[in-house]
Amino acid sequence: MKTFKYLIFLAFIISLISCDKNDIDETKKMDVEKFIELLKSNQYDSLNLPAFTYTDIPSLLQYRNETQTITNFPHNGISSLYAPDCTLGMYVLWTIESIRAVAIQSENLVMGFPSQNPILALRVADELTLVYSIESHQIAANAYFDWWENNKQKDFNDFKNIDPLKSTDYRWH
């Protein structure tokens, strides 16, 4: 376990050293529409997710059902699974989860990523079972939409700890 923590720390330090300051600055001031445009055109070239906040969630949710395949997007560098593509809608949901994970200071948060990959896995399974179906995407999209719609009148601090996928069969990988 100590070695694993050391490797995570080392990966974090390397990413900081190798990051271009302009890259970080650009992601901090990026808006949702520009982010989506760059993802759709496979021209998003930052290693980081934009520094979105809960105020960006309604705009992101507009794209939750998108099925367009994207191939150029930030990946979690510690994951041993490399997924070369993803649907735009699933990536948007993962981005929303990142906003939530940052807000709750999740123990799973590594370099701004809420989990290892923008892929769903079965919540209860004897072994890791990744799920790529259209049905699972739709269930996750509905869960995030309902989570937001049922709570948006509240202060974000009052519902940020609620896992949108809790009542589904899925979790993030």
Q: Which residues form the domain of 126?
A: 2-172
Alpha carbon distance 11, 91 (integer Å): 23
Q: Residue 136 and residue 149: Cα distance in Å, rounded?
A: 20
pLDDT averaged over the chain?
A: 88
Query: Structurally, how many domains does the chain consist of?
Result: 1
Residue range 89-120, pLDDT digits in tens: 999 999 999 999 999 999 989 889 999 999 99
Return left, alpha or beta for 113; rule: phi > 0 is left, psi -120 to 50 is alpha, else beta. Answer: beta
Give kind and range of the element (H or E) at residue 149. helix 134-151
Residue 102 CB neighbour total at 10 angstroms = 18
pLDDT class of 23 with cuts at 50, 70, 90:
very low
How confident is residue 78, by pLDDT bands cut at 50, 70 and 90? confident
Residue 12 per-residue DSSP state:
H
Residue with tokens 């949901």: 93
Could you tell me which residues come within 8 angstroms of residue 151 by beta carbon, excluding any fewer than 6 positions away?
158, 159, 162
DSSP string, 48-110: S-----GGGHHHHHTTTT---EE------TT-S-----EEHHHHHHHHHHHHHHHHHT-TT-B
Token pair 């070369």: residue: 84
Rounded Cα gap, residues 51 and 39, in angstroms? 15
